[in-house]
Amino acid sequence: MQKLTNKEEEIMHILWKLKKAFVKDILEEITEDKPHYNTLSTIVRNLEEKEYVGYTAYGKTHQYFPIVKIEEYRKAFMSTAIDNYFDSSYKNLVSYFAEEEKISASELREILALIEQKK
């Protein structure tokens, strides 16, 4: 799975949300740093070349839809992030969030309960 740029990832989140969209629909969803229509169209075509999106043609217009599911992307992204930033250690990942006070003790207990249920 090829790495996406920040803008490509933003577009994919919009497509995952909308399920199907024309370029104009995607453009309407962008709230900050709105690109020009042609620039956005190029980004979407790049996503097509990377095999993240497909399309249905309606004459000269294309309606785009995600090929890669958000769950697949999340799994690949998280694996890469954990490998690159946490020395491939989930313990280091959880410790980081605990130290940054992004996760509470009760949330950790919930996670432990989920792990215990899976055993």
Read off the pLDDT of residues 5-32 as tens digits, 9 standing for 90 and up: 999 999 999 999 999 999 999 999 998 8
Q: Which domain holds residue 89?
A: 70-118
57 in a domain, yes or no? yes
Convert the pLDDT of each residue in 34-64 to its tens digit: 999 999 999 999 999 999 999 999 999 999 9
**Alpha carbon separation from 32 to 16, 27, 64 (Å, rounded):** 18, 10, 21
Pair 77, 101 in one domain: yes
75 pLDDT exceeds 80?
A: yes
Q: How far apart are CA 2 and CA 12, in angstroms?
A: 13
Pair 36, 62 in one domain: yes
Amino acid at 90: Y
**Alpha carbon separation from 11 to 50, 62, 66, 95, 116 (Å, rounded):** 13, 15, 10, 31, 37
- pTM given for the model: 0.79
Pair 94, 58 in one domain: no
Pair 104, 61 in one domain: no
Q: How far apart are CA 67 and CA 54, in angstroms?
A: 6
